[in-house]
Amino acid sequence: MAAVANGGSTTAVAKGSSEGPSTVIIGAGIIGSATAYYLAGSGNTRPESIHLVEASPELFASASGKAGGFCVSDWFETATASLGSLSFRLHKELADRHDGFTNWGYSRSTATSFVEGRQLHTTSDDWLAEGGSRAQQAGEHFISDADGAPAWLTRGRGSRSEIIGDEGGVAQVLSQSLLRLSTSAGVKLHHPAKPTKIDTDEAGNITSVQIQTPDGATQSIPCTRLLITAGAWTPSVFTTLFPSSKLRLGIQPLAGYSLVVKSPRWTRELESKGCHAIFTSMQGGISPEIFSRVGEEIYVAGLNDAQLPLPELATDAKVDAASIAELRRISEKF
Ligand SMILES: Cc1cc2nc3c(=O)[nH]c(=O)nc-3n(C[C@H](O)[C@H](O)[C@H](O)COP(=O)(O)OP(=O)(O)OC[C@H]3O[C@@H](n4cnc5c(N)ncnc54)[C@H](O)[C@@H]3O)c2cc1C
């Protein structure tokens, strides 16, 4: 680390500018952390030359830390089908390599659609934004026996369930381990810090990224490769770093509430036999998604709000008590 004068203020310069490529990744959610992890292990990039910049004072305070952790190989539209199966395969390889069951609760999981009363099958590709359910997306051929329904699920009269993912086809993943594996390989985490501008050489090539910590201190990180992996904040980071660009990134925020509960009917003994993902579709347009996970916990989500504005920082998000109360009611019902 060296300190240089910069327009009257003192700016620290991260070491490494004369030592080959330097990669700056903005945003340390699962996408940024996974990118750092695979690049560090690629054999063609020194891990110490990879810089992850994360703005939120709490790590994984947005989607990657609140997600259900459910992944599947083959529920994707044509355009993303190959990426979906690649992602699923990589999740499995990671778990095999690093004992994912112990370290982040990776487990096989049986996915079941569970429907009360008659529901319409959606034909829209954008079922999530429209408040739909994967139970509807997955198909209409519901059967009325209890096969596949987990022991912890309370089923009302007339409810129907169907297994929509086989035992080998569904997995649960938590993302924090990827960041830990990256930093222990040598990747540098700048946290909390935000990028404020890029510097370029005479040819217009990016040479460094300026970052700022909440106390106002600045640092210049050498940069020959820049990745913006800031989830829903990606468009605003892009505009900050490239203010004159006319490019508009088509990324929209979609806020979602979730709750983690315990049940005496979901025990360590049962979880060793495999977890469950339940996709329900209730009367009234609510589509809860309920996942039993390793650690004797059950995750309940499915209440989304596309109207909520994106907060400045992930930690600025406000919890809506009424939505959490609704998820609690749904948890008790099921
Ligand atoms: C309730 C819920 C449940 C979900 N369940 C599932 C599921 O079961 N399965 C599944 O596959 N997907 C699920 N998802 C979707 C999944 O969580 C996201 O697709 C994924 O986490 C996105 O990761 P990301 O790294 O792109 O974004 P994020 O996790 O949002 O990470 C972006 C990071 O960038 C940081 N950042 C923002 N601005 C800046 C800045 N200026 N400078 C530096 N850093 C910045 C943020 O603080 C954040 O840490 C769910 C999402 C939600 C909300």
Domain ranges within the chain, ordered by starting residue: 2-62+176-241, 73-173+253-333
Strand partners, 24: 51, 226
E strand map for 175-318:
188-190, 194-200, 206-212, 218-222, 225-228, 255-261, 275-281, 289-293, 297-305
Q: Is the CB of 191 inside a 6 Å radius of any atom of ligand 1?
A: no
| Crossing angle (nearest 10°) for helices 176-185 and 81-98 | 70
ω into residue 311 within 30 of 0, thus cis? Answer: no
Whether the predicted pLDDT of 186 surpasses 90: yes
Mutate to test the pocket of ligand 1, among 37, 51, 56 (most ligand atoms within 8 A of CB): 56
State whether the beta carbon of 193 lies less than 6 angstroms from ligand 1.
Answer: no
> Does the CB atom of residue 235 touch ligand 1 within 6 A?
no
Please state the rounded mean pLDDT for residues 61-86: 87
CA 124 to CA 137: how far, in whole Å? 8
Write down the architecture of domain 2-62+176-241 according to CATH.
Answer: 3-Layer(bba) Sandwich (3.50)
73-173+253-333 maps to CATH 3.30.9: yes
pLDDT interval class at 211 (50, 70, 90) = very high
Give yes or no for residue 69 CB within 6 A of ligand 1.
yes
Give the Å distances, CA to CA, from 277 to 192, 293, 299: 34, 9, 9
Decide whether any atom of ligand 1 lies within 6 Å of the 53 Cβ.
yes
Average pLDDT over residues 89-113: 84
Q: What is the pTM of this model?
A: 0.85
Q: How far is the CA of 63 from the centre of ligand 1 (A)?
A: 3
